Amino acid sequence: MDRIPILKMGDLLLVTIQVDMHDRLAMTLQDDLTDRIVTARARGVLIDISGLEMVDSFIGRMLANIASMSRVLDAETVVVGMRPAVAITLVELGLTLNGVRTALNVDKGMELLNSLGGHQG
């Protein structure tokens, strides 16, 4: 069964979504990621969706859910690299992902995560 790899970088987790998400894959990612946040004691999660060309309301909600779950586990989530078409689709679907932090690319996302968690040392 295919899974989306979760990479550990220091105390951050890096998820790169390169394939189009289907619902099962999204649910697996949600499970895996919450597990990894706990086992790796991560304080930040960076989700790169620059490879994602299509989203539906389910995937949109899943992103919001992952962000909320990570926050409960004391890890900040940043979604980076969203394509313009995807952003427009999400807005039209009424999913503005209010609780999710966003950044233009991985670089800026890392900067944001580092600035957020800097005080923890």
Interacting residue ranges for other proteins, rule: CB under 8 A:
79-84, 86-88, 90-92, 96-97, 102-105, 108-109
Query: Min. distance of Cβ 90 from other proteins in angstroms?
Result: 6
CB 52 to other proteins: min, Å: 12
Close Cβ partners of 99 (under 8 Å, ≥ 6 residues apart) = 64, 67, 68, 71
Q: Measure the CA–CA gap between 82 and 49, rounded to whole angstroms.
A: 6
Instruction: Name the residue among 28, 27, 21 with its Cα closest to residue 3.
Output: 28
Least distance (Å) from other proteins to the CB of residue 114? 15
The conformational region for residue 81 under phi > 0 = left, psi -120 to 50 = alpha, else beta, is left
We find the least distance from the C-beta atom of residue 82 to other proteins, in angstroms, to be 5
Rank residues 40 and 117 by Cβ distance to other proteins and give the closer one. Answer: 117
Strands, sheet with 6-9, edge to edge from the N-terminal-most edge strand: 6-9, 12-16, 44-48, 76-80, 101-103
Tell me whether residue 12 or residue 86 sits nearer to other proteins (CB atom).
86
Nearer to other proteins, 40 or 116 (CB): 116
Q: Which is nearer to other proteins, 36 or 66 (CB)?
A: 66
